Amino acid sequence: MAPHRRHSAIRRADLARMTGCNMETIRYYENVGIMPDPPRDRNNYRRYDDSHVARLRFVMRARDLGFSLDEIRDLLALVDGGMQTCAEVRSIASRHIDSVRARIADLKRIEQVLAETVSLCSGEEVPECAVIDALTETT
């Protein structure tokens, strides 16, 4: 494997390009404390390094897996403290799995209701429509 090139003075635009993360999202993550404030150079430009790249990639992967910012904050607090245990991380991830499963169940219920409603729709060029009727129905 080729040696890893160390980046010691990365600008925000370069960090965005290297990670595929939008510059405004990086700024947001800094504002909410997910990303640490980077040091600044003599010209007052933010200067990121490899640790920022690694952290942002961690955050983006966690977001891809559906973790909330609060859950990511909890995971990062464990990592930043250097005292994380697999049990603590597993607890956070297990709660997240429960949340994902609940959302899947909700989506399956929504799918069933929509499929039943669409099956009642004639699809013809007439003003009457079962989907519209179901959406305007009062309970």
- pLDDT digit string, tens, across residues 10-55: 999 999 999 999 999 999 999 999 999 899 988 888 999 999 999 9
Tell me how far CA of residue 6 lies from CA of 3, 27, 112, in angstroms.
Answer: 9, 23, 52
Q: What percent of the chain has pLDDT over 90?
A: 67
CA distances from residue 137 to 65, 107, 125, 134 in whole angstroms, order as listed: 36, 21, 21, 5
Q: What is the pTM of this model?
A: 0.77
- Which CA distances in Å does 101 have to 68, 98, 106, 139? 15, 5, 9, 28
Predicted pLDDT at 6? 53
pLDDT band at 2 (very low <50, low <70, confident <90, very high): very low
Per-domain residue ranges of the chain: 7-68, 85-139
CATH topology of domain 7-68: Multidrug-efflux Transporter Regulator; Chain: A; Domain 2 (1.10.1660)
